[in-house]
Structure 1
Amino acid sequence: METLKGKQAAFEIGVVIHKRVVDDIGDNYGYDCDEVLVYEFQKVGLIVDRVAGLHDEFLKLAAPVEVLGQAAAELHLKKRTHIGEITHDNPTPPLYLPIFLPSSSFSFVAGVDLQFEWDESEAFIKQADGSLFSWCERFRCYNHMIYGIVNNGESAVVLKFNGRKFNWEPGESLMWKLETEAIVKEVFPLHDETKRKQLLKRWALNLWDLTNQPIDEIYAYYGTKIATYFAFLGMYTKWLLFPAVFGLILQLVDFGSLQLFVLPIFFICITSWAVLFFQFWKRKNSTLLARWQISYSAGSESAYKYMDTEWSSFHSSAASAKKWGENKGKENEKFQREEWFGRMMRFRNDAIIILSIICLQLPFELAYAHLYESIGSDVVKFGLTAGYLFAIQYFTQIGGKVSVKLIKDEKNKCSEYRANSLVYKVFGLYFMQSYIGILYHAVLHRNFMTLRQVIIQRLIISEVLENLMENSLPYVKYSYRKYRAIRHKRKREKGYAGGKHIFNSRVEKEYFKPVYAASIGDELEDGLFDDFLELALQFGMIMMFACAFPPAFAFAALNNITEIRADALKIIVMFRRPVPRVDATIGAWLNIFQFLIVVSICTNCALLVCLYDREGKWNISPGLAAILIMEHVLLLIKFGFSRIVPEEPDWVKANRMKNATHAQNMCSKQLLRNISGRRGMLVKANCN
């Protein structure tokens, strides 16, 4: 992280390379790879610290703010500038960060995003922590510098390493070459110990603030996507307190004959609560984007597709404008073909997954539910459940691999779109595994005692076991990798005694920690898939069967209060520092949560039908007709509230529109000046 002038920047990137032994080719033949790599890193301005590990060598990299600024200018990064509107009464909302001009009472509303130029760095707004670049921007700059080192000479450079030699060809990236030759093992982000300890104290170990979290500090250290997840988790937990209290009242208070009237009222309130929560979450999400100076709308397809399009790509000349106009028709046809081809591929892949679930997984799930209902022995039920859990893990892995192969043909616009497409497909598998057996008990057998037992089992036992596994497995993996490294050292050097005194390199400890990745596969970008999946399955459980077990909301609220600190401790202590992601919303999970709301309306109405229809003949009596009317009313509430509550506050929308207008006006004026200057030069040349 860049620091104040006179202080050294913190090391943020680690490079793992094999240890070099004595070369048998000769000292005068070629150059040592590690020496060349260190020299090239220092040549581009990086600060390098070499650390010897047990059987690997580590290069810790840091960059002064000047070096990061030059890399940002080469990448044409867009950043928020001080170009905006000055007002007297400071109309900016509380969550927007105003900038106060010196010796004045005026407030400044920033708005225009322009390409970064290091010579004009004072014109760009700094982050909330005082740094010029966010963690996502710094990581992009590091990648640009590390992988941008190429051989600019006219001839190949001979490199040697551990008795091998190879050529570094002209124009070839040095890092890619060393990774191909298996000399560089990995490049990964490093924890900043000062910031990490602050987060550990203020966040993970702060047990008194149940739902409050330092979201801005999380964003500054981990990036947008992880900060958005914890903001969602905190808001979701806080909103759960209302249905938790309501559900406990229904469980503890005996309403007698009014119980059948109280349950529909409870579910109407719960549905309204869920719809309002997600609408207000969208508002908070847009507020966070404005506060973090992120100007694009993550919910728009065009935002993803053209987010990296720079103004410099639109050449400011009359000839290029004319050429663009001539090719406009062909470009439109190309975009239309790509659009519809991509949609057809996604439709085909989704159909394959759905048919596979119906034809393969659904019979298996129904067979398990039927056997569980018909078996009387609890011991046999336990064995059946154990075998079932083992089998569904195998099925999920197969489904995940098939989904990965399918999305490769979809030609998604970016990595986040590809991850979202995979999330939809994999969640379909988990949805069937988690709910089909419970629906079988509820609708066909109408065994509400078994239904409540299954819900309690999933909410208490399953979530406790999942928390224990996700917090213990990383430590087990870390201990095993450290043990293997020490054992390998002992075998290589006979007589080596071992001990803690040789394992004191912090960068090596970070390297031994597991990567924050999804359990089903690395294609899902990061470990947030598992965390969001746990929340989605929990939300579906408490919503879809709310009328059968209202206290489930209290169990969920208590679990999420613990989950906030457990996830914070996990990501701070047990995993490596994750690679920052640019996705600024919860992505596909928002659509999944809203889908679960619609499904819950249908399932709870079916549960109420079972409660009212005591004889089991499914007669449409006046009470059942009222339930059908309630279902339509709830669906109307679901889609009505989504229109009543706007997804974006007016002040955020106004600032975003002002940003776009200012940028368009500036680019238009620059284009006109360039065209006028070009014509002036032509007239002058003709006169001469």
Structure 2
Amino acid sequence: MWNWEKVNKHIDYSFQMSEQSLSSRETSFLINEETMPAKRFNLFLRRRLMFQKNQQSKDSIFFRDGIRQIDFVLSYVDDIKKDAELKAERRKEFEKNLRKTGLELEIEDKRDSEDGRTYFVKIHAPWEVLVTYAEVLGIKMPIKESDIPRPKHTPISYVLGPVRLPLSVKYPRPEYFTAQFSRHRQELFLIEDQATFFPSSSRNRIVYYILSRCPFGIEDGKKRFGIERLLNSNTYSSAYPLHDGQYWKPSEPPNPTNERYTLHQNWARFSYFYKEQPLDLIKNYYGEKIGIYFVFLGFYTEMLFFAAVVGLACFIYGLLSMEHNTSSTEICDPEIGGQMIMCPLCDQVCDYWRLNSTCLASKFSHLFDNESTVFFAIFMGIWVTLFLEFWKQRQARLEYEWDLVDFEEEQQQLQLRPEFEAMCKHRKLNAVTKEMEPYMPLYTRIPWYCLSGATVTLWMSLVVTSMVAVIVYRLSVFATFASFMESDASLKQVKSFLTPQITTSLTGSCLNFIVILILNFFYEKISAWITKMEIPRTYQEYESSLTLKMFLFQFVNFYSSCFYVAFFKGKFVGYPGKYTYLFNEWRSEECDPGGCLIELTTQLTIIMTGKQIFGNIKEAIYPLALNWWRRRKARTNSEKLYSRWEQDHDLESFGPLGLFYEYLETVTQFGFVTLFVASFPLAPLLALINNIVEIRVDAWKLTTQYRRTVASKAHSIGVWQDILYGMAVLSVATNAFIVAFTSDIIPRLVYYYAYSTNATQPMTGYVNNSLSVFLIADFPNHTAPSEKRDFITCRYRDYRYPPDDENKYFHNMQFWHVLAAKMTFIIVMEHVVFLVKFLLAWMIPDVPKDVVERIKREKLMTIKILHDFELNKLKENLGINSNEFAKHVMIEENKAQLAKSTI
């Protein structure tokens, strides 16, 4: 654990000491800056800039001296509003305090910028600053090259040779034994060159840590600090670390190796979609937090491959068995389905229709509703368990490989948000640091929590209301479709795929998808606003609160229509003469004679595919268009040097929540793949194709269209892992209910084993058995078709007694047998899948055995190296020879053993 009291004291002490120990050159510079006439100073600075800029490359990432590397860039524009003086004073104080911490600054005048209005403050962290804050942040650095060999490739790895990246790209650096850096033990670490010892990701992380804690003045009696507050008040317009260079060409000396170019060549190109990802290089360049997202996305995509293969096999089975399906054959047969007159699907305007008019729809339904549906539902319950358990192992292996075993939460996530400090009027003693810190009593937050809860509830209610509105739309237009699609033509045995049910389902699903996108767009804005109004204390609290709101809303928004079709549609219809009505006006929707599964498949396909296509297009085009427009506006002075910091300034900012939305998108897709996969075996295949594209789209936009993000650490995917576990458990129940109540497989099995009378072809007569008989004369006047027919009876989907029975229209015994079979199937399937899940979770260790051994080996070697280092240092300090030193150590050990035995 870090002692933050010591850290804070160290930082305050460094401010005091730096103020006292400013060199005479720096002091004179500050004095001259304050006393020299502005016009003369600016003229001098401008001439100097113009002179050296003519000799400077536009891709240079160094100060004008060509030696000091730029680690961070701040930009601002002159503000002509009334608070311009206040902002200028804040910047002056902030930059002065940055110099006191040891950072070196170089300012680019606006007249030398491309747009002629933007100032750039370039920041360099010298060696003394880096070693000081590397120790404060507990950054691990190499002390010895590791003697543990990398994992060897399995025999199948050679088959996957084309997928592999060159070793120099996959492993850009050797593996080392590492230890937390200490500036007093610099001889222990492998420092060959001070300029390259700390990678650029560590450098920008250190500089951002200083920027986030540097004060810029006292306002309203409170000490104000942090670059985030200055960005929020538009004192600075942006703050970002530089990319290594251009992504389309390697860097030229003296610039260091251009890792951005390497990433673009081997990762961010769509032609490399089949290649593995250079994960170590991603981590080195963007930090562990972004790196672990791509590890998760890649691992999830790899696991989807197995689910996609099995799902495709189930689909092919349905395709091959479609022509031999007895139910479809009977429906399509003019002598069977063609002679069955079905009851009208709506009141008055709908006519009777022949069953064989749904011939093609019944065949298409068999693609997804067949014997393999049960197998695939059980398989996916096991697959999701294997995925989560193997991800635990992958995460544990990653923690070892990326030195995150003893990782603690990043300070930038735990530090107080500027908004929280600004709103706090109370202070409280922190029990850990023993310092007074801002505090907000619970009673001041309760109104905002109530508002937040009410807003989330209101918007989820709005989603449900919009879903009901779509249902009303479907009920309203159904009669219109039925009036011209099921006229006399349907009684003439016309076979059509576009039945009123399918047509209404397609249009309703498309309309529902549009409504989902609109509601999602507005809710993203509102959820961010109400989360800010809650005034979370830390960035971690802010992100957790926003995650909860966004996930709850998206769960309801994207899945509510699928839940309706799967578990409610067609379940409470009633029967002819006694239908149930929505709002006493619209008759409840009925399922197709083949069941509602095909409609659930249609709904799921449109929403899932539409969301993925829309998301990828948005992610690719949105930053591209913004950057093009920004560059077009900025490049007004073509004769000026379009420098590296200006090029990055014109890129889009990834933002603190950029990764949040990427995880949200992936988890939403995971819900489609798991919650309703029994109705659509091709869902994993669609997700696999999308993720292959998604990886390259995300890589391309991060490498080419966004500014470089500040490197930050993370040892897991955080709260998203708990959400995935919750969805995995829920998916077992939803798929069991889909097979039991939405699919037609259970009624067919009951008929096969209990009611079939044909020994050679047991499924013969199933269609006739599944349809009940209704006497047309029993239709109430307000529901009977307006056009009179010569039919005496019509058929409808249910298990009820016929009109000539004393219990007419009541559920018959077969209905209860089918219901009992459905409930039995749900209980058996859930218990079997959960039993297998628990067995797999017990059998598969969270941390692989070889990783445990590697961690032990590394800890042992690190302790030994540190021990030998301290002994050698002590030996040098004592100034004695080896024999005397060994005798001295033995005497001390004997004394310790004697003292221990005495105790």
Asked if structure 2 preserves the Cα contact closer than 8 Å seen for 1:369 and 1:441, the reply is no
* Residues 1:456 and 2:655 aligned together: no
Q: Which amino acid is 1:402 matched to?
A: I
Which residue pairs with 1:398 in the alignment? 526
Mapped to 2, the partners of 1:404 and 1:245 lie a distance apart of 45
* Residues 1:221 and 2:285 aligned together: yes
Deviation of residue 547 (structure 1)? 1.4
Asked if structure 1 preserves the Cα contact closer than 8 Å seen for 2:98 and 2:211, the reply is no
Which residue pairs with 1:186 in the alignment? 238
* Residues 1:138 and 2:206 aligned together: no
Which of 61, 67, 75 is residue 16 of structure 1 equivalent to?
75
SS in 1 for 2:680: coil
User: For residues 40 and 208 of structure 1, do their structure 2 counterparts lie closer, same or farther at Cα, with a shift above 3 Å needed?
Assistant: closer
* Residues 1:512 and 2:650 aligned together: yes
Which residue pairs with 1:231 in the alignment? 295
Give the number of the structure with larger relative contact order, counting CA–CA contacts within 8 Å between residues 6 or more apart.
1
Which of 356, 359, 384 is residue 457 of structure 2 equivalent to?
356
Deviation of residue 541 (structure 1)? 0.8
* Residues 1:203 and 2:261 aligned together: no
Mapped to 1, the partners of 2:507 and 2:137 lie a distance apart of 64
Which residue pairs with 1:77 in the alignment? 138
Deviation of residue 502 (structure 1)? 4.2
Mapped to 2, the partners of 1:7 and 1:219 lie a distance apart of 27
Which residue pairs with 1:160 in the alignment? none
Q: Which amino acid is 1:269 matched to?
A: F
Q: Which amino acid is 2:299 matched to?
A: M
SS in 2 for 1:240: helix
Asked if structure 2 preserves the Cα contact closer than 8 Å seen for 1:357 and 1:429, the reply is no
Deviation of residue 124 (structure 1)? 3.6
Which of 693, 709, 714 is residue 562 of structure 1 equivalent to?
693
Q: Which amino acid is 2:206 matched to?
A: C
Which residue pairs with 1:547 in the alignment? 678
Which residue pairs with 1:48 in the alignment? 106
Query: Deviation string for 1:124-152 (max 9, x for gaps)?
Result: 4689x99543555323321355567779x
User: For residues 92 and 562 of structure 1, do their structure 2 counterparts lie closer, same or farther at Cα, with a shift above 3 Å needed?
Assistant: closer
Asked if structure 2 preserves the Cα contact closer than 8 Å seen for 1:283 and 1:647, the reply is yes
Deviation of residue 188 (structure 1)? 1.5
Which of 629, 634, 640 is residue 839 of structure 2 equivalent to?
640
SS in 1 for 2:130: helix
Identity %: 22
TM-score (norm 1): 0.70
Map of 1:121-132 to 2, 5 A cutoff?
A: 121-124=186-189, 132=197
Deviation of residue 201 (structure 1)? 0.7
Map of 1:368-447 to 2, 5 A cutoff?
A: 368-374=469-475, 375-376=477-478, 381=508, 386-387=514-515, 389-406=517-534, 408=535, 415-445=539-569, 447=596
SS in 2 for 1:57: strand
Which residue pairs with 2:405 in the alignment? 295
User: For residues 465 and 172 of structure 1, do their structure 2 counterparts lie closer, same or farther at Cα, with a shift above 3 Å needed?
Assistant: closer
Deviation of residue 653 (structure 1)? 3.9
User: For residues 602 and 62 of structure 1, do their structure 2 counterparts lie closer, same or farther at Cα, with a shift above 3 Å needed?
Assistant: same
Map of 1:328-347 to 2, 5 A cutoff?
A: none
TM-score (norm 2): 0.55
User: For residues 122 and 648 of structure 1, do their structure 2 counterparts lie closer, same or farther at Cα, with a shift above 3 Å needed?
Assistant: farther
Once the two structures are overlaid, the 10-residue window that deviates more, 374-383 or 538-547, is 374-383
Query: Deviation string for 1:70-123 (max 9, x for gaps)?
Result: 3424x3534256499x98xx588669xxxxxxxxxxx99836x44x32342342
Which residue pairs with 2:120 in the alignment? 58
Query: Deviation string for 1:522-572 (max 9, x for gaps)?
Result: xxx331122112211111112112111101111111111111111100111
SS in 1 for 2:677: coil
Mapped to 2, the partners of 1:20 and 1:390 lie a distance apart of 36
Which residue pairs with 1:649 in the alignment? 848
SS in 1 for 2:568: helix
User: For residues 265 and 505 of structure 1, do their structure 2 counterparts lie closer, same or farther at Cα, with a shift above 3 Å needed?
Assistant: same
Deviation of residue 203 (structure 1)? 0.8
Q: Which amino acid is 1:558 matched to?
A: I
User: For residues 250 and 9 of structure 1, do their structure 2 counterparts lie closer, same or farther at Cα, with a shift above 3 Å needed?
Assistant: farther
User: For residues 141 and 512 of structure 1, do their structure 2 counterparts lie closer, same or farther at Cα, with a shift above 3 Å needed?
Assistant: same
SS in 1 for 2:108: strand
Mapped to 2, the partners of 1:361 and 1:656 lie a distance apart of 52
Asked if structure 1 preserves the Cα contact closer than 8 Å seen for 2:470 and 2:511, the reply is no
Query: Deviation string for 1:219-259 (max 9, x for gaps)?
Result: 00000011101111111111111111111121122346797
Structure 1 unaligned residues grouped into runs of 5+: 22-29, 96-106, 157-165, 310-329, 332-337, 487-497, 518-524, 674-688
Q: Which amino acid is 1:139 matched to?
A: N
Aligned residues: 576
Q: Which amino acid is 2:71 matched to?
A: E
SS in 2 for 1:207: helix
Q: Which amino acid is 2:238 matched to?
A: E
Which residue pairs with 2:730 in the alignment? 599
Query: Deviation string for 1:560-611 (max 9, x for gaps)?
Result: 1111111100111111111223222111111112222112111111111122
SS in 2 for 1:187: strand
Deviation of residue 433 (structure 1)? 0.3
Which of 452, 464, 467 is residue 616 of structure 2 equivalent to?
467
Mapped to 1, the partners of 2:126 and 2:298 lie a distance apart of 35
Which residue pairs with 1:325 in the alignment? none
Deviation of residue 183 (structure 1)? 5.1
Mapped to 1, the partners of 2:90 and 2:599 lie a distance apart of 69
Mapped to 1, the partners of 2:540 and 2:612 lie a distance apart of 28
Once the two structures are overlaid, the 10-residue window that deviates more, 453-462 or 31-40, is 31-40
User: For residues 49 and 245 of structure 1, do their structure 2 counterparts lie closer, same or farther at Cα, with a shift above 3 Å needed?
Assistant: same
Query: Deviation string for 1:305-343 (max 9, x for gaps)?
Result: 99999xxxxxxxxxxxxxxxxxxxx98xxxxxx9xx99x
User: For residues 282 and 145 of structure 1, do their structure 2 counterparts lie closer, same or farther at Cα, with a shift above 3 Å needed?
Assistant: same
Q: Which amino acid is 2:830 matched to?
A: E
Mapped to 1, the partners of 2:232 and 2:689 lie a distance apart of 49
SS in 2 for 1:620: helix
Which residue pairs with 1:326 in the alignment? none
Asked if structure 2 preserves the Cα contact closer than 8 Å seen for 1:50 and 1:57, the reply is yes
Query: Deviation string for 1:330-385 (max 9, x for gaps)?
Result: 98xxxxxx9xx99x99xx88994798279724632541452354234679745665
Asked if structure 2 preserves the Cα contact closer than 8 Å seen for 1:189 and 1:579, the reply is yes
Which of 348, 353, 374 is residue 264 of structure 1 equivalent to?
374
User: For residues 541 and 384 of structure 1, do their structure 2 counterparts lie closer, same or farther at Cα, with a shift above 3 Å needed?
Assistant: closer
Which residue pairs with 1:250 in the alignment? 314
User: For residues 126 and 7 of structure 1, do their structure 2 counterparts lie closer, same or farther at Cα, with a shift above 3 Å needed?
Assistant: farther
User: For residues 579 and 605 of structure 1, do their structure 2 counterparts lie closer, same or farther at Cα, with a shift above 3 Å needed?
Assistant: same
Mapped to 2, the partners of 1:177 and 1:267 lie a distance apart of 51
Asked if structure 1 preserves the Cα contact closer than 8 Å seen for 2:677 and 2:735, the reply is yes
Asked if structure 2 preserves the Cα contact closer than 8 Å seen for 1:404 and 1:422, the reply is no
User: For residues 483 and 143 of structure 1, do their structure 2 counterparts lie closer, same or farther at Cα, with a shift above 3 Å needed?
Assistant: same
Asked if structure 2 preserves the Cα contact closer than 8 Å seen for 1:46 and 1:67, the reply is no
User: For residues 224 and 108 of structure 1, do their structure 2 counterparts lie closer, same or farther at Cα, with a shift above 3 Å needed?
Assistant: closer
Asked if structure 2 preserves the Cα contact closer than 8 Å seen for 1:2 and 1:64, the reply is no
Once the two structures are overlaid, the 10-residue window that deviates more, 417-426 or 230-239, is 417-426
Mapped to 1, the partners of 2:856 and 2:692 lie a distance apart of 38
Query: Deviation string for 1:485-514 (max 9, x for gaps)?
Result: 46xxxxxxxxxxx46444723322322222
Structure 2 unaligned residues grouped into runs of 5+: 1-59, 81-87, 154-173, 246-257, 326-365, 416-430, 433-438, 482-503, 570-590, 748-769, 771-797, 799-814, 875-903
Mapped to 1, the partners of 2:229 and 2:738 lie a distance apart of 62
